[in-house]
Structures are given as C-alpha cells and as structure tokens.
Amino acid sequence: MRDTGIRGSGIPDFRDSETLEFGVVQARRQAEAAEVAEVVEAGSARGPGLPRHWLLLLLGAAVLPGVVLVVVGRSLEEPAVQAWRTVCLAVTVQALPFLLLGTALSGAINAFVPASVFSRLLPKRPALAVPVAGAAGVVLPGCECASVPVANSLIGRGVNPAAAFAFLLSAPAINPVVLTATAVAFPGSPEMVLARLLASLVTAAVMGWLWLWLGREEWLRPAVRHTGHREGHSRWEEFRQGFQHDFLHAGGFLVVGAMAAATFNVAVPRSVLEVFSGSPWLSVLFLAALAILLAVCSEADAFVAASLSGFSPVARLAFMVVGPMVDLKLIALQAGTFGRAFAVRFSSATVVVAVVCSAVVGGVLL
C-alpha cells in the first residue's frame, strides 16, 4: 500500500525518528535566539552593562595596592625587619663567591678528571684506602650534591665502598674552597679552620672503617647513574651543564639557609637561645639538628655558623661538620642512589660520629 498522505503533502513525517529529532533541535535554537534578542534589547535600553557593585570594585582596585605598599614600606622600616634584611643579605653576599667557585670546581672535576684516577691512586688494602680517600677531599673538592653520584660512580668502577663513602663525606667538608670560606667567616681564628679540617677528616675515616666492620652488601643498592665524561660529548658542554645544575641547585639552598639564619637571629627570643646556648651539650645537639634542617651548601655554611654568635665555638663547629655530611637533601640523594636502608643507617651513624668528633676536637682546640 502506497503512502500518499502526509509525505505527498510536504509536511514532515514525525513518525520518522530522525526527522523528529531535527525538529526538536530547530525549535530549541529558535527559542534560544529569541531569548538572546530580548536580552540585547533590554541591555540597549539600559545602556552599557556594568557590574552591580562596580563603584566599590573600582575603589578597591585603586586603594588596596596603595595600602599594601604603605604597610610593607612601614614594616621595612621596623628595626627587626631591617636587622633580618641585613643578616640575610650579608650571609648571601659573603657566601656567593665561594659557592660559585666550589660548584665550578665540582663541574670541572666531573667533566675533566677520569674516574679511573681514583682507583689507581688508592691503596689496595681497604683499611688504608679509607683514610687516603678521605684525605683526597682536600685536593679534589666537590659540592655535597655532586659527591653522592661521584661515590656511586667510584663503586661502579671497582673502588671499595668504604673508601668511596669516606670520599663522599670528606670532599664537601674539607676542600680548599670550604676551608678558605671558613677562614674568611671566622677572621683571626685559625683554630676554627684546623678544628673543622680535623673533625671532618676523622669523621669520614671513622665512617669508612665502620662500613668495613659492620657494613652489609644487602644495605647497598647503588643505582646506575653516569658521572664523568661521556665519549662523543664535549667536555666543555658537560662542564657547563654540571656547573649550571650544581650552582642553581645549591644556590637555592643558600638563599633558604640565609633567610632561616636571619629569622633565627631576629625572631627567636633570647630566653630560648639561652636555654640551649647555656648548656654545652644542648647547644651542640641543637646546632647539629639545625644544620640537618637548613641544608646549607658547604661553601656557605661557615657564614651561617658565624652569624650564630650566641652559641659556643664547639656548637658552631658541630654545625659546620654535620651540615656537609648529613642534611635533608643529602639523605634524599643517598636514598635515591644507594637505597633507603643504606641512607637511614648511614646518615644516623654519621650524625653520631660527627657530633662526637666535633665535641672532642673542639674541646681540645677551641
């Protein structure tokens, strides 16, 4: 039977589902267009549209920045804020040249000194290799951020882990840049430089010997990371990349450490400082814990320690001995490189040994 009714008359057959949907969509579009037209006509009748509280918003945008500038400007004139700013800038400006030199030397060693040099120079007997590797930090300086991957590379090339760990601890603590910065931060106190050298060197050697005695292979899971020159790459480009990475990374911690030191000097009441500074052991433990938390680069920590004038020389020595060996960033680097089990045990033991060595050496020399 033919369909000659609705289809032949030109009227849409809404029994067809597709035609029905099309009709609904068209109706909706017409309704929306009508609503838009009504809104446009109403707006043109009222004039250009503005927010309901446009006057208050305009007044706030004009007044609020001025109020902020006035408040901040007045606060900057306060004696406490001025003292904070002076201490922060002094620590940063004094430490920046040494940080620059130290990271440049670290990048140069990574790019131009082959890792095989270390294995050839170290004695074959591990017990003798440990102090030699620790003393190598005097002539082969490196930032503490770079010492972890360097130690990993040494282990991967056959160096005994105990010797590699001694170098890891000593290189950022007793290199010439750090010792020079210490002499500048403590003018007229050569005994502080000598005490830092001896306490750091003894700590590194003791930790290496402890690993020979108590260390276990299952604690050590070195990650595969490259350090040193790669064949086919430009040594100067590797130097530039290493220097840029170390300087920017360590520079951020320097600024944070300077701000924390300034805040500590200005904001902490003297009564609180007297509680710790009045006790020889409490002051040593307090500054050792502070060094772990601040994570200041070793090329700059002497200036932070010098600013903590309310504490004893032994306590400030502990700050400079513990900081380059154990801090938050180094614990994270060690955990990522050698495994969490190693980082927890090694860092905890290093803190104890460093505090004891600082107290003994500082008690004799300072």
pLDDT per residue as tens digits for the range 189-219: 899 999 999 999 999 999 999 999 888 777 7
> Where would I find the beta strands (DSSP E) of the chain?
none
Whether the per-residue pLDDT at 38 is higher than 90: the answer is no
Alpha carbons 329 and 331: distance in angstroms, whole number:
5
By the 8 A CB rule, do 94 and 173 touch? Answer: no
Q: Could you tell me which residues come within 8 angstroms of residue 190 by beta carbon, excluding any fewer than 6 positions away?
A: 183
Backbone angles phi, psi at 327, to 5 degrees: -150, 180
**Would you state the pLDDT for residue 124?**
82
Do residues 260 and 295 touch, judged by C-beta distance below 8 A? no
Q: Taking Cα atoms as reference points, which of 297, 298, 301, 302 lies closest to residue 250?
A: 297
pLDDT at 27: 62
Residue 169 has pLDDT above 80, yes or no: yes
Q: Give the CB-side neighbour count of residue 139, counting CA atoms within 13 A.
A: 8
Confidence of residue 46 (pLDDT cuts 50, 70, 90): very low
Res 197: pLDDT: 94
How confident is the model over 207-263, as pLDDT tens digits?
999 999 888 777 776 544 445 555 666 778 777 877 777 677 666 766 766 777 677
| Residue 192: C-alpha distances to residues 170, 176, 321, 327, 334 (Å) | 17, 14, 11, 22, 29
Task: Report the percentage of the chain scoring pLDDT > 70.
Answer: 63
Q: Distance (Å, rounded) from C-alpha 117 to C-alpha 140?
A: 11
Q: Is 78 exposed, middle or buried (0-12, 13-18, 19+ CB in 10 A)?
A: exposed
What's the pTM value of the predicted model, to 2 decimals? 0.64
Assigned token pair, 255: 């600024």
Is residue 31 predicted with pLDDT exceeding 50? yes
- C-alpha closest to that of 350 among 287, 270, 269, 292: 292
User: How far is 350 from 292, CA to CA, in rounded Å?
Assistant: 12
Q: Which residues neighbour 198 within 8 Å (Cβ) at sequence distance 6 or greater?
A: 361, 365
Token pair of 251 as six digits = 């520079």
